[in-house]
Structure 1
Protein backbone atom coordinates (compact mmCIF):
# COMPACT_ATOMS: atom_id res chain seq x y z
CA UNK A 1 0.00 0.00 0.00
CA UNK A 2 1.63 3.14 -1.17
CA UNK A 3 0.53 6.32 -2.80
CA UNK A 4 1.96 8.04 -5.81
CA UNK A 5 2.17 11.73 -6.31
CA UNK A 6 0.07 13.95 -8.54
CA UNK A 7 -0.36 12.99 -12.16
CA UNK A 8 -1.24 14.82 -15.34
CA UNK A 9 -4.84 16.00 -14.75
CA UNK A 10 -5.66 15.23 -18.36
CA UNK A 11 -4.68 11.57 -18.05
CA UNK A 12 -7.75 9.45 -18.61
CA UNK A 13 -8.70 6.12 -17.09
CA UNK A 14 -10.70 3.72 -19.20
CA UNK A 15 -13.91 2.13 -18.04
CA UNK A 16 -12.11 -1.18 -17.54
CA UNK A 17 -9.41 0.68 -15.60
CA UNK A 18 -11.98 2.13 -13.20
CA UNK A 19 -13.57 -1.31 -12.78
CA UNK A 20 -10.19 -2.92 -12.15
CA UNK A 21 -9.26 -0.30 -9.59
CA UNK A 22 -12.62 -0.64 -7.87
CA UNK A 23 -12.20 -4.41 -7.60
CA UNK A 24 -8.56 -4.45 -6.61
CA UNK A 25 -9.23 -1.98 -3.84
CA UNK A 26 -10.32 -5.03 -1.88
CA UNK A 27 -7.12 -6.99 -2.49
CA UNK A 28 -5.01 -3.95 -1.54
CA UNK A 29 -6.35 -4.28 2.00
CA UNK A 30 -3.76 -7.06 2.17
CA UNK A 31 -1.24 -5.21 -0.05
CA UNK A 32 -2.07 -7.18 -3.20
CA UNK A 33 -3.05 -6.13 -6.70
CA UNK A 34 -4.82 -9.32 -7.72
CA UNK A 35 -8.38 -9.52 -9.00
CA UNK A 36 -8.80 -13.17 -7.96
CA UNK A 37 -7.73 -12.33 -4.42
CA UNK A 38 -10.19 -9.41 -4.53
CA UNK A 39 -13.03 -11.69 -5.60
CA UNK A 40 -12.31 -14.13 -2.78
CA UNK A 41 -12.30 -11.25 -0.29
CA UNK A 42 -15.60 -10.02 -1.72
CA UNK A 43 -16.97 -13.55 -1.30
CA UNK A 44 -15.84 -13.43 2.33
CA UNK A 45 -17.92 -10.29 2.84
CA UNK A 46 -20.94 -11.89 1.16
CA UNK A 47 -20.63 -14.94 3.44
CA UNK A 48 -20.74 -12.58 6.43
CA UNK A 49 -23.64 -10.44 5.11
CA UNK A 50 -24.43 -9.27 1.57
CA UNK A 51 -25.24 -5.81 2.92
CA UNK A 52 -21.74 -5.53 4.32
CA UNK A 53 -20.34 -6.52 0.93
CA UNK A 54 -22.40 -3.78 -0.72
CA UNK A 55 -21.23 -1.15 1.77
CA UNK A 56 -17.62 -2.21 1.17
CA UNK A 57 -18.05 -1.77 -2.59
CA UNK A 58 -19.70 1.62 -2.08
CA UNK A 59 -16.92 2.81 0.21
CA UNK A 60 -14.28 1.56 -2.21
CA UNK A 61 -15.99 3.36 -5.12
CA UNK A 62 -16.18 6.61 -3.17
CA UNK A 63 -12.48 6.43 -2.30
CA UNK A 64 -11.49 5.48 -5.85
CA UNK A 65 -13.34 8.38 -7.50
CA UNK A 66 -12.30 10.93 -4.86
CA UNK A 67 -8.70 9.83 -5.12
CA UNK A 68 -8.66 10.48 -8.84
CA UNK A 69 -10.40 13.84 -8.38
CA UNK A 70 -7.49 14.75 -6.12
CA UNK A 71 -5.22 13.94 -9.06
CA UNK A 72 -3.85 10.64 -7.83
CA UNK A 73 -1.67 8.83 -10.33
CA UNK A 74 -3.93 6.85 -12.70
CA UNK A 75 -1.77 3.76 -12.17
CA UNK A 76 -2.42 3.91 -8.41
CA UNK A 77 -6.15 4.16 -9.12
CA UNK A 78 -6.24 1.12 -11.40
CA UNK A 79 -4.07 -0.84 -8.95
CA UNK A 80 -6.64 -0.31 -6.20
CA UNK A 81 -4.37 1.88 -4.07
CA UNK A 82 -7.02 4.60 -4.02
CA UNK A 83 -9.77 2.25 -2.84
CA UNK A 84 -8.73 -0.02 0.00
CA UNK A 85 -9.17 2.50 2.82
CA UNK A 86 -12.65 3.32 1.51
CA UNK A 87 -13.49 -0.37 1.37
CA UNK A 88 -12.53 -0.72 5.01
CA UNK A 89 -14.54 2.41 5.85
CA UNK A 90 -17.56 0.67 4.33
CA UNK A 91 -16.89 -2.38 6.50
CA UNK A 92 -16.54 -0.14 9.56
CA UNK A 93 -19.85 1.52 8.72
CA UNK A 94 -21.58 -1.85 8.74
CA UNK A 95 -19.81 -2.82 11.96
CA UNK A 96 -21.12 0.33 13.65
CA UNK A 97 -24.66 0.72 12.31
CA UNK A 98 -25.43 -2.44 10.38
CA UNK A 99 -27.30 -2.41 7.09
CA UNK A 100 -29.88 0.28 7.85
CA UNK A 101 -30.60 2.81 5.11
CA UNK A 102 -28.35 5.53 6.57
CA UNK A 103 -25.34 3.25 6.22
CA UNK A 104 -25.18 3.61 2.44
CA UNK A 105 -24.62 7.38 2.15
CA UNK A 106 -22.35 7.23 5.20
CA UNK A 107 -20.20 4.54 3.54
CA UNK A 108 -20.00 6.62 0.35
CA UNK A 109 -19.05 9.80 2.19
CA UNK A 110 -16.62 7.94 4.45
CA UNK A 111 -14.98 6.32 1.45
CA UNK A 112 -14.63 9.67 -0.30
CA UNK A 113 -13.14 11.28 2.83
CA UNK A 114 -10.40 8.67 2.85
CA UNK A 115 -8.89 10.37 -0.22
CA UNK A 116 -8.09 13.78 1.33
CA UNK A 117 -7.04 12.13 4.60
CA UNK A 118 -4.67 9.91 2.61
CA UNK A 119 -3.29 13.02 0.91
CA UNK A 120 -2.59 14.58 4.31
CA UNK A 121 -0.86 11.48 5.68
CA UNK A 122 1.23 11.14 2.52
CA UNK A 123 2.18 14.81 2.81
CA UNK A 124 3.33 14.19 6.39
CA UNK A 125 5.68 11.46 5.18
CA UNK A 126 6.91 13.17 2.00
CA UNK A 127 7.11 16.88 2.88
CA UNK A 128 8.70 16.66 6.33
CA UNK A 129 12.00 15.24 7.65
CA UNK A 130 10.18 11.88 7.93
CA UNK A 131 10.51 11.52 4.14
CA UNK A 132 13.92 9.89 4.58
CA UNK A 133 12.20 6.76 5.90
CA UNK A 134 9.74 6.35 3.01
CA UNK A 135 6.89 5.42 5.33
CA UNK A 136 3.59 4.35 3.72
CA UNK A 137 0.23 5.85 4.66
CA UNK A 138 -1.13 2.28 4.70
CA UNK A 139 -4.50 1.99 6.56
CA UNK A 140 -4.07 5.07 8.76
CA UNK A 141 -6.61 7.09 6.68
CA UNK A 142 -9.17 4.33 7.22
CA UNK A 143 -8.60 4.35 10.98
CA UNK A 144 -9.04 8.12 11.14
CA UNK A 145 -12.21 8.13 9.03
CA UNK A 146 -13.66 5.04 10.73
CA UNK A 147 -13.21 6.64 14.15
CA UNK A 148 -15.08 9.68 12.86
CA UNK A 149 -17.88 7.46 11.58
CA UNK A 150 -18.06 5.60 14.88
CA UNK A 151 -18.23 8.74 17.01
CA UNK A 152 -20.66 10.63 14.76
CA UNK A 153 -23.21 7.83 14.37
CA UNK A 154 -23.67 6.89 18.02
CA UNK A 155 -27.45 7.32 17.81
CA UNK A 156 -27.55 4.74 15.01
CA UNK A 157 -25.34 2.11 16.59
CA UNK A 158 -26.58 -1.47 16.59
CA UNK A 159 -25.65 -4.32 18.88
CA UNK A 160 -23.41 -6.95 17.37
CA UNK A 161 -25.29 -9.59 19.34
CA UNK A 162 -23.90 -12.06 21.85
CA UNK A 163 -20.73 -13.87 20.85
CA UNK A 164 -20.16 -17.54 21.47
CA UNK A 165 -18.30 -18.09 24.73
CA UNK A 166 -15.10 -20.08 24.37
CA UNK A 167 -13.56 -21.65 27.47
CA UNK A 168 -10.97 -23.92 25.87
CA UNK A 169 -7.54 -22.52 24.98
CA UNK A 170 -6.88 -25.08 22.19
CA UNK A 171 -10.30 -24.35 20.66
CA UNK A 172 -9.76 -20.60 20.96
CA UNK A 173 -6.37 -20.92 19.28
CA UNK A 174 -7.65 -23.12 16.45
CA UNK A 175 -10.59 -20.83 15.69
CA UNK A 176 -8.45 -17.70 15.86
CA UNK A 177 -6.18 -18.86 13.05
CA UNK A 178 -8.99 -18.00 10.62
CA UNK A 179 -10.85 -15.29 12.53
CA UNK A 180 -7.61 -13.31 12.90
CA UNK A 181 -7.60 -13.11 9.11
CA UNK A 182 -11.28 -12.23 8.81
CA UNK A 183 -11.18 -9.60 11.57
CA UNK A 184 -8.73 -7.57 9.49
CA UNK A 185 -11.87 -6.60 7.56
CA UNK A 186 -14.10 -6.54 10.68
CA UNK A 187 -15.66 -9.98 10.12
CA UNK A 188 -15.94 -12.66 12.81
CA UNK A 189 -16.43 -15.73 10.64
CA UNK A 190 -14.14 -18.73 10.13
CA UNK A 191 -15.43 -19.35 6.60
CA UNK A 192 -14.76 -15.76 5.63
CA UNK A 193 -11.29 -16.11 7.12
CA UNK A 194 -10.69 -19.26 5.09
CA UNK A 195 -11.72 -17.51 1.86
CA UNK A 196 -9.44 -14.56 2.54
CA UNK A 197 -6.52 -16.81 3.49
CA UNK A 198 -7.05 -18.74 0.25
CA UNK A 199 -6.97 -15.41 -1.58
CA UNK A 200 -3.64 -14.57 0.04
CA UNK A 201 -2.13 -17.85 -1.15
CA UNK A 202 -3.55 -17.17 -4.62
CA UNK A 203 -1.67 -13.86 -4.59
CA UNK A 204 1.54 -15.66 -3.65
CA UNK A 205 2.66 -18.46 -1.36
CA UNK A 206 4.89 -16.10 0.63
CA UNK A 207 1.95 -13.76 1.16
CA UNK A 208 -0.27 -16.57 2.40
CA UNK A 209 2.49 -18.02 4.58
CA UNK A 210 3.25 -14.63 6.13
CA UNK A 211 -0.44 -14.07 6.86
CA UNK A 212 -0.71 -17.48 8.51
CA UNK A 213 2.49 -16.86 10.47
CA UNK A 214 1.14 -13.56 11.74
CA UNK A 215 -2.08 -15.25 12.80
CA UNK A 216 -0.26 -18.02 14.68
CA UNK A 217 2.17 -15.71 16.46
CA UNK A 218 -0.55 -13.18 17.25
CA UNK A 219 -2.76 -15.80 18.88
CA UNK A 220 0.08 -17.38 20.85
CA UNK A 221 1.05 -13.97 22.20
CA UNK A 222 -2.57 -13.16 23.08
CA UNK A 223 -2.91 -16.39 25.05
CA UNK A 224 0.46 -15.88 26.73
CA UNK A 225 -0.58 -12.38 27.83
CA UNK A 226 -3.83 -13.62 29.29
CA UNK A 227 -6.25 -12.16 26.76
CA UNK A 228 -9.79 -13.48 27.18
CA UNK A 229 -10.29 -16.78 25.36
CA UNK A 230 -13.48 -15.58 23.68
CA UNK A 231 -11.78 -12.41 22.42
CA UNK A 232 -8.83 -14.43 21.14
CA UNK A 233 -11.12 -16.97 19.48
CA UNK A 234 -13.01 -14.19 17.71
CA UNK A 235 -9.82 -12.78 16.21
CA UNK A 236 -9.91 -9.51 18.13
CA UNK A 237 -6.49 -10.05 19.67
CA UNK A 238 -4.51 -11.23 16.65
CA UNK A 239 -5.80 -9.63 13.45
CA UNK A 240 -3.31 -6.76 13.36
CA UNK A 241 -0.47 -9.26 13.51
CA UNK A 242 -1.63 -10.73 10.20
CA UNK A 243 -1.02 -7.38 8.49
CA UNK A 244 2.25 -6.72 10.30
CA UNK A 245 3.70 -10.08 9.24
CA UNK A 246 2.76 -9.63 5.59
CA UNK A 247 3.93 -6.01 5.53
CA UNK A 248 7.38 -6.70 6.97
CA UNK A 249 8.05 -10.14 5.50
CA UNK A 250 7.12 -9.61 1.86
CA UNK A 251 5.81 -6.10 1.10
CA UNK A 252 7.73 -3.13 2.49
CA UNK A 253 11.05 -4.93 2.90
CA UNK A 254 12.92 -7.21 0.53
CA UNK A 255 11.86 -10.75 1.41
CA UNK A 256 14.84 -12.44 3.04
CA UNK A 257 15.82 -13.95 6.37
CA UNK A 258 16.08 -10.53 8.02
CA UNK A 259 12.63 -9.43 6.87
CA UNK A 260 11.01 -12.61 8.17
CA UNK A 261 12.77 -12.30 11.53
CA UNK A 262 11.61 -8.68 11.75
CA UNK A 263 8.11 -9.86 10.82
CA UNK A 264 8.00 -12.31 13.74
CA UNK A 265 9.36 -9.75 16.21
CA UNK A 266 7.02 -7.12 14.81
CA UNK A 267 4.03 -9.41 15.22
CA UNK A 268 4.92 -9.96 18.88
CA UNK A 269 5.18 -6.19 19.40
CA UNK A 270 1.88 -5.73 17.59
CA UNK A 271 0.22 -8.13 20.03
CA UNK A 272 1.54 -6.08 22.97
CA UNK A 273 0.32 -2.83 21.40
CA UNK A 274 -3.08 -4.44 20.80
CA UNK A 275 -3.42 -5.38 24.48
CA UNK A 276 -2.40 -1.87 25.55
CA UNK A 277 -4.95 -0.28 23.21
CA UNK A 278 -7.68 -2.62 24.46
CA UNK A 279 -6.91 -1.42 27.99
CA UNK A 280 -7.48 2.16 26.81
CA UNK A 281 -10.96 1.16 25.64
CA UNK A 282 -10.52 3.26 22.49
CA UNK A 283 -11.29 2.33 18.86
CA UNK A 284 -8.43 0.04 17.86
CA UNK A 285 -9.04 -0.83 14.20
CA UNK A 286 -5.63 -1.51 12.60
CA UNK A 287 -3.62 0.99 14.65
CA UNK A 288 -1.47 -1.71 16.35
CA UNK A 289 -0.31 -2.89 12.93
CA UNK A 290 0.21 0.65 11.63
CA UNK A 291 2.21 1.95 14.58
CA UNK A 292 4.36 -1.18 14.83
CA UNK A 293 5.08 -1.29 11.11
CA UNK A 294 6.07 2.38 10.99
CA UNK A 295 8.50 1.88 13.88
CA UNK A 296 10.01 -1.26 12.35
CA UNK A 297 10.43 0.40 8.95
CA UNK A 298 12.37 3.19 10.68
CA UNK A 299 14.52 0.56 12.41
CA UNK A 300 15.00 -1.34 9.13
CA UNK A 301 16.25 1.88 7.54
CA UNK A 302 19.40 1.48 9.63
CA UNK A 303 19.87 -2.26 8.96
CA UNK A 304 21.87 -2.81 5.75
CA UNK A 305 20.44 -6.29 5.19
CA UNK A 306 16.86 -5.03 5.48
CA UNK A 307 16.56 -3.52 2.03
CA UNK A 308 13.45 -2.13 0.42
CA UNK A 309 12.10 -4.19 -2.50
Structure 2
Protein backbone atom coordinates (compact mmCIF):
# COMPACT_ATOMS: atom_id res chain seq x y z
CA UNK A 1 0.00 0.00 0.00
CA UNK A 2 0.97 3.58 -0.35
CA UNK A 3 2.57 3.90 -3.76
CA UNK A 4 2.87 0.37 -5.05
CA UNK A 5 0.64 -2.63 -5.22
CA UNK A 6 2.21 -4.11 -2.13
CA UNK A 7 0.04 -7.14 -1.80
CA UNK A 8 -1.49 -8.49 -5.01
CA UNK A 9 -2.68 -11.92 -4.03
CA UNK A 10 -1.92 -15.06 -5.97
CA UNK A 11 -4.53 -15.70 -8.62
CA UNK A 12 -6.50 -12.63 -7.57
CA UNK A 13 -9.29 -11.52 -9.89
CA UNK A 14 -8.04 -7.96 -10.47
CA UNK A 15 -10.69 -6.62 -12.83
CA UNK A 16 -10.84 -3.31 -14.69
CA UNK A 17 -12.97 -0.21 -14.74
CA UNK A 18 -14.09 2.32 -12.16
CA UNK A 19 -15.98 -0.19 -10.02
CA UNK A 20 -12.99 -2.54 -9.89
CA UNK A 21 -10.71 0.38 -8.96
CA UNK A 22 -12.94 1.26 -6.00
CA UNK A 23 -13.11 -2.38 -4.87
CA UNK A 24 -9.35 -2.68 -5.19
CA UNK A 25 -9.09 0.39 -2.98
CA UNK A 26 -11.07 -1.44 -0.30
CA UNK A 27 -9.00 -4.62 -0.59
CA UNK A 28 -5.74 -2.64 -0.48
CA UNK A 29 -6.56 -1.66 3.10
CA UNK A 30 -5.42 -5.23 3.78
CA UNK A 31 -2.66 -5.20 1.11
CA UNK A 32 -4.68 -7.05 -1.55
CA UNK A 33 -5.77 -6.31 -5.11
CA UNK A 34 -8.81 -8.52 -5.30
CA UNK A 35 -12.33 -7.66 -6.46
CA UNK A 36 -13.99 -10.42 -4.40
CA UNK A 37 -12.14 -9.33 -1.26
CA UNK A 38 -13.23 -5.76 -1.93
CA UNK A 39 -16.84 -6.86 -2.38
CA UNK A 40 -16.88 -8.64 0.98
CA UNK A 41 -15.31 -5.62 2.68
CA UNK A 42 -17.98 -3.46 1.07
CA UNK A 43 -20.59 -5.92 2.37
CA UNK A 44 -19.20 -5.40 5.88
CA UNK A 45 -19.79 -1.67 5.50
CA UNK A 46 -23.31 -2.31 4.24
CA UNK A 47 -23.95 -4.59 7.23
CA UNK A 48 -23.03 -1.66 9.47
CA UNK A 49 -25.00 0.95 7.52
CA UNK A 50 -25.79 1.59 3.84
CA UNK A 51 -24.78 5.22 4.12
CA UNK A 52 -21.41 4.28 5.56
CA UNK A 53 -20.80 2.17 2.45
CA UNK A 54 -21.73 5.15 0.26
CA UNK A 55 -19.28 7.42 2.09
CA UNK A 56 -16.54 4.80 1.73
CA UNK A 57 -17.10 4.50 -2.02
CA UNK A 58 -17.12 8.30 -2.43
CA UNK A 59 -13.90 8.67 -0.44
CA UNK A 60 -12.13 5.93 -2.37
CA UNK A 61 -13.25 7.25 -5.75
CA UNK A 62 -12.23 10.82 -4.86
CA UNK A 63 -8.80 9.72 -3.67
CA UNK A 64 -8.19 7.67 -6.82
CA UNK A 65 -9.33 10.55 -9.05
CA UNK A 66 -7.05 13.01 -7.26
CA UNK A 67 -4.16 10.56 -7.56
CA UNK A 68 -4.70 10.43 -11.31
CA UNK A 69 -4.70 14.25 -11.49
CA UNK A 70 -1.41 14.31 -9.58
CA UNK A 71 0.19 11.91 -12.05
CA UNK A 72 0.14 8.64 -10.14
CA UNK A 73 0.85 5.63 -12.39
CA UNK A 74 -2.26 4.15 -13.96
CA UNK A 75 -1.35 0.66 -12.73
CA UNK A 76 -1.22 1.90 -9.13
CA UNK A 77 -4.59 3.62 -9.49
CA UNK A 78 -6.23 0.51 -10.96
CA UNK A 79 -4.69 -1.63 -8.21
CA UNK A 80 -6.36 0.54 -5.57
CA UNK A 81 -3.13 1.99 -4.19
CA UNK A 82 -4.52 5.52 -4.46
CA UNK A 83 -7.96 4.62 -3.13
CA UNK A 84 -7.56 2.84 0.19
CA UNK A 85 -6.80 5.92 2.29
CA UNK A 86 -9.83 7.68 0.80
CA UNK A 87 -11.99 4.66 1.62
CA UNK A 88 -10.88 4.86 5.25
CA UNK A 89 -11.64 8.60 5.24
CA UNK A 90 -15.22 7.78 4.22
CA UNK A 91 -15.44 5.25 7.06
CA UNK A 92 -13.98 7.64 9.64
CA UNK A 93 -16.33 10.41 8.50
CA UNK A 94 -19.32 8.16 9.14
CA UNK A 95 -17.85 7.04 12.47
CA UNK A 96 -17.50 10.66 13.61
CA UNK A 97 -20.65 12.22 12.13
CA UNK A 98 -23.07 9.56 10.98
CA UNK A 99 -24.72 10.41 7.66
CA UNK A 100 -26.02 14.01 7.66
CA UNK A 101 -25.85 15.77 4.30
CA UNK A 102 -22.51 17.45 5.00
CA UNK A 103 -20.80 14.08 5.57
CA UNK A 104 -20.77 13.46 1.82
CA UNK A 105 -18.88 16.56 0.64
CA UNK A 106 -16.60 16.11 3.64
CA UNK A 107 -15.79 12.51 2.66
CA UNK A 108 -15.13 13.62 -0.92
CA UNK A 109 -12.92 16.52 0.20
CA UNK A 110 -11.04 14.25 2.57
CA UNK A 111 -10.57 11.68 -0.16
CA UNK A 112 -9.25 14.33 -2.54
CA UNK A 113 -6.84 15.56 0.12
CA UNK A 114 -5.44 12.06 0.66
CA UNK A 115 -3.71 12.12 -2.74
CA UNK A 116 -1.45 15.16 -2.15
CA UNK A 117 -0.84 14.11 1.46
CA UNK A 118 0.20 10.67 0.21
CA UNK A 119 2.53 12.26 -2.33
CA UNK A 120 4.10 14.49 0.31
CA UNK A 121 4.45 11.58 2.75
CA UNK A 122 6.18 9.46 0.11
CA UNK A 123 8.57 12.33 -0.68
CA UNK A 124 9.35 12.77 3.00
CA UNK A 125 10.10 9.06 3.39
CA UNK A 126 12.40 9.29 0.36
CA UNK A 127 14.56 12.00 1.95
CA UNK A 128 18.04 11.17 3.20
CA UNK A 129 17.30 10.19 6.82
CA UNK A 130 14.61 7.66 5.76
CA UNK A 131 15.51 6.64 2.21
CA UNK A 132 17.76 3.73 3.17
CA UNK A 133 14.89 2.03 5.02
CA UNK A 134 12.45 2.11 2.06
CA UNK A 135 9.47 2.81 4.30
CA UNK A 136 5.97 2.71 2.75
CA UNK A 137 3.53 5.54 3.43
CA UNK A 138 0.85 2.88 4.08
CA UNK A 139 -2.12 4.38 6.03
CA UNK A 140 -0.21 7.37 7.45
CA UNK A 141 -1.89 9.79 4.97
CA UNK A 142 -5.31 8.57 6.11
CA UNK A 143 -4.34 9.11 9.75
CA UNK A 144 -3.16 12.66 9.03
CA UNK A 145 -6.23 13.66 7.01
CA UNK A 146 -8.68 11.95 9.38
CA UNK A 147 -7.13 13.71 12.37
CA UNK A 148 -7.43 17.04 10.56
CA UNK A 149 -11.11 16.35 9.89
CA UNK A 150 -11.71 15.16 13.45
CA UNK A 151 -10.27 18.40 14.85
CA UNK A 152 -12.18 20.50 12.32
CA UNK A 153 -15.58 19.05 13.19
CA UNK A 154 -15.29 19.59 16.93
CA UNK A 155 -18.79 20.02 18.32
CA UNK A 156 -20.43 18.03 15.51
CA UNK A 157 -19.01 14.63 16.39
CA UNK A 158 -21.24 11.80 17.56
CA UNK A 159 -20.84 10.39 21.03
CA UNK A 160 -20.91 6.66 20.41
CA UNK A 161 -20.94 4.63 23.65
CA UNK A 162 -19.12 1.33 23.68
CA UNK A 163 -21.29 -1.74 23.22
CA UNK A 164 -21.25 -4.20 26.11
CA UNK A 165 -21.18 -7.76 24.86
CA UNK A 166 -21.98 -10.01 27.79
CA UNK A 167 -19.92 -12.64 29.57
CA UNK A 168 -16.14 -12.64 29.36
CA UNK A 169 -15.91 -15.64 26.97
CA UNK A 170 -18.40 -13.96 24.65
CA UNK A 171 -16.35 -10.76 24.70
CA UNK A 172 -13.17 -12.69 23.96
CA UNK A 173 -14.55 -14.50 20.91
CA UNK A 174 -16.38 -11.40 19.68
CA UNK A 175 -13.10 -9.48 19.76
CA UNK A 176 -11.47 -11.96 17.36
CA UNK A 177 -13.87 -10.72 14.67
CA UNK A 178 -14.34 -7.11 15.76
CA UNK A 179 -10.56 -6.61 15.79
CA UNK A 180 -10.75 -7.31 12.06
CA UNK A 181 -13.83 -5.19 11.40
CA UNK A 182 -12.50 -2.23 13.38
CA UNK A 183 -9.62 -1.92 10.92
CA UNK A 184 -12.25 -0.23 8.74
CA UNK A 185 -14.09 1.37 11.72
CA UNK A 186 -16.92 -1.19 11.68
CA UNK A 187 -18.09 -2.54 15.04
CA UNK A 188 -19.62 -5.85 14.01
CA UNK A 189 -18.89 -9.53 14.52
CA UNK A 190 -20.62 -10.26 11.22
CA UNK A 191 -18.64 -7.51 9.51
CA UNK A 192 -15.43 -9.06 10.78
CA UNK A 193 -16.52 -12.48 9.53
CA UNK A 194 -17.25 -11.07 6.07
CA UNK A 195 -13.88 -9.36 5.89
CA UNK A 196 -12.08 -12.46 7.14
CA UNK A 197 -13.77 -14.52 4.43
CA UNK A 198 -12.54 -12.00 1.87
CA UNK A 199 -9.00 -12.25 3.21
CA UNK A 200 -9.01 -16.05 2.92
CA UNK A 201 -10.29 -15.69 -0.64
CA UNK A 202 -7.31 -13.46 -1.39
CA UNK A 203 -4.85 -15.98 0.08
CA UNK A 204 -4.88 -18.36 3.02
CA UNK A 205 -1.81 -16.68 4.51
CA UNK A 206 -3.63 -13.36 4.65
CA UNK A 207 -6.56 -14.89 6.52
CA UNK A 208 -4.32 -16.78 8.96
CA UNK A 209 -2.21 -13.67 9.59
CA UNK A 210 -5.37 -11.68 10.35
CA UNK A 211 -6.45 -14.30 12.90
CA UNK A 212 -2.97 -14.35 14.47
CA UNK A 213 -2.88 -10.57 14.76
CA UNK A 214 -6.38 -10.46 16.20
CA UNK A 215 -5.70 -13.20 18.76
CA UNK A 216 -2.41 -11.65 19.89
CA UNK A 217 -4.05 -8.23 20.17
CA UNK A 218 -6.84 -9.51 22.38
CA UNK A 219 -4.56 -11.60 24.61
CA UNK A 220 -2.18 -8.65 25.09
CA UNK A 221 -5.05 -6.29 25.88
CA UNK A 222 -6.40 -8.67 28.52
CA UNK A 223 -2.91 -9.18 29.96
CA UNK A 224 -2.57 -5.40 30.30
CA UNK A 225 -5.97 -5.18 32.01
CA UNK A 226 -7.61 -3.25 29.21
CA UNK A 227 -11.31 -2.43 29.54
CA UNK A 228 -13.29 -5.48 28.40
CA UNK A 229 -15.72 -3.29 26.48
CA UNK A 230 -12.86 -1.94 24.36
CA UNK A 231 -11.53 -5.46 23.91
CA UNK A 232 -14.92 -6.76 22.76
CA UNK A 233 -15.34 -3.85 20.37
CA UNK A 234 -11.99 -4.46 18.72
CA UNK A 235 -10.61 -1.08 19.75
CA UNK A 236 -7.54 -2.66 21.35
CA UNK A 237 -6.57 -5.16 18.67
CA UNK A 238 -7.43 -3.86 15.21
CA UNK A 239 -4.04 -2.33 14.42
CA UNK A 240 -2.34 -5.62 15.27
CA UNK A 241 -4.34 -7.30 12.50
CA UNK A 242 -2.71 -5.04 9.91
CA UNK A 243 0.74 -5.41 11.48
CA UNK A 244 0.51 -9.19 11.37
CA UNK A 245 -0.55 -9.20 7.71
CA UNK A 246 2.18 -6.69 6.84
CA UNK A 247 4.98 -8.86 8.21
CA UNK A 248 3.62 -12.36 7.56
CA UNK A 249 2.57 -11.73 3.96
CA UNK A 250 4.00 -8.50 2.55
CA UNK A 251 7.31 -7.28 3.90
CA UNK A 252 9.37 -9.93 5.73
CA UNK A 253 11.15 -12.67 3.80
CA UNK A 254 11.84 -16.21 4.96
CA UNK A 255 10.09 -19.36 6.06
CA UNK A 256 9.45 -18.64 9.73
CA UNK A 257 10.81 -15.11 10.26
CA UNK A 258 7.66 -13.44 8.82
CA UNK A 259 5.44 -15.23 11.34
CA UNK A 260 7.75 -14.39 14.26
CA UNK A 261 7.60 -10.75 13.18
CA UNK A 262 3.82 -11.02 12.81
CA UNK A 263 3.36 -12.23 16.40
CA UNK A 264 5.94 -9.86 17.90
CA UNK A 265 4.69 -6.96 15.82
CA UNK A 266 1.07 -7.53 16.85
CA UNK A 267 2.12 -7.64 20.51
CA UNK A 268 4.11 -4.41 20.22
CA UNK A 269 1.23 -2.82 18.34
CA UNK A 270 -1.11 -3.70 21.22
CA UNK A 271 1.20 -1.94 23.68
CA UNK A 272 1.44 1.13 21.42
CA UNK A 273 -2.34 1.14 20.99
CA UNK A 274 -3.03 1.12 24.73
CA UNK A 275 -0.43 3.84 25.26
CA UNK A 276 -2.05 5.99 22.57
CA UNK A 277 -5.46 5.53 24.21
CA UNK A 278 -4.17 7.99 26.82
CA UNK A 279 -4.02 10.71 24.14
CA UNK A 280 -7.05 12.80 23.16
CA UNK A 281 -8.82 11.79 19.98
CA UNK A 282 -8.89 8.56 17.98
CA UNK A 283 -5.68 6.64 17.33
CA UNK A 284 -6.82 5.43 13.90
CA UNK A 285 -4.11 3.08 12.50
CA UNK A 286 -1.10 4.95 13.89
CA UNK A 287 -0.06 2.02 16.15
CA UNK A 288 0.16 -0.24 13.09
CA UNK A 289 2.01 2.39 11.05
CA UNK A 290 4.59 3.13 13.75
CA UNK A 291 5.19 -0.52 14.64
CA UNK A 292 5.53 -1.53 10.99
CA UNK A 293 8.02 1.25 10.32
CA UNK A 294 10.03 0.17 13.37
CA UNK A 295 10.04 -3.46 12.22
CA UNK A 296 11.12 -2.52 8.69
CA UNK A 297 14.01 -0.46 10.06
CA UNK A 298 15.07 -3.48 12.15
CA UNK A 299 14.92 -5.76 9.10
CA UNK A 300 16.95 -3.29 7.06
CA UNK A 301 19.77 -2.90 9.61
CA UNK A 302 20.04 -6.60 10.43
CA UNK A 303 22.30 -8.61 8.08
CA UNK A 304 20.38 -11.82 8.81
CA UNK A 305 16.92 -10.45 8.00
CA UNK A 306 15.60 -9.71 4.53
CA UNK A 307 12.64 -7.92 2.97
CA UNK A 308 10.51 -9.17 0.14
Band of TM-score, shorter chain: over 0.9
Tell me what 1:56 maps to: 56
Deviation at 1:167, TM superposition (A): 5.8
Q: Partners in 2 of 1:300 and 1:168 — Cα distance?
A: 41
Tell me what 1:302 maps to: 301
Tell me what 2:232 maps to: 233
Deviation at 1:19, TM superposition (A): 3.2
Q: Partners in 1 of 2:92 and 2:34 — Cα distance?
A: 23
Change (3 A) 1:167 1:17: closer
* Contact 1:273/1:288 (<8 A) preserved: yes
Tell me what 1:257 maps to: 256
SS of equivalent residue, structure 2 residue 307: coil
Tell me what 2:31 maps to: 31
Deviation at 1:227, TM superposition (A): 0.2
Q: Deviations over 1:151-176 (max 9, x none)?
A: 1112322232x433246332221110
Q: Partners in 2 of 1:143 and 1:2 — Cα distance?
A: 13
Tell me what 1:196 maps to: 195
Tell me what 2:117 maps to: 117
Deviation at 1:246, TM superposition (A): 0.2
* Contact 1:167/1:230 (<8 A) preserved: no
* Contact 1:18/1:77 (<8 A) preserved: no
Q: Return 5+ residue gaps in structure 2 as ranges.
A: 5-14
SS of equivalent residue, structure 1 residue 154: coil
* Contact 1:168/1:229 (<8 A) preserved: no
Q: Which stretch shows the higher mean deviation, 162-171 or 59-68? A: 162-171
Tell me what 1:9 maps to: none
Q: Partners in 1 of 2:179 and 2:289 — Cα distance?
A: 16
The CA RMSD measured in Å over matched residues stands at 1.4
Tell me what 1:107 maps to: 107
Paired residues, what number? 298
Q: Return 5+ residue gaps in structure 1 as ranges.
A: 5-14
* Contact 2:2/2:118 (<8 A) preserved: no
Tell me what 2:206 maps to: 207
Q: Partners in 1 of 2:16 and 2:265 — Cα distance?
A: 38
Deviation at 1:263, TM superposition (A): 1.1
Matches within 5 A, 1:1-309: 1-4=1-4, 16-160=16-160, 162-166=161-165, 168-254=167-253, 256-309=255-308
Tell me what 1:8 maps to: none
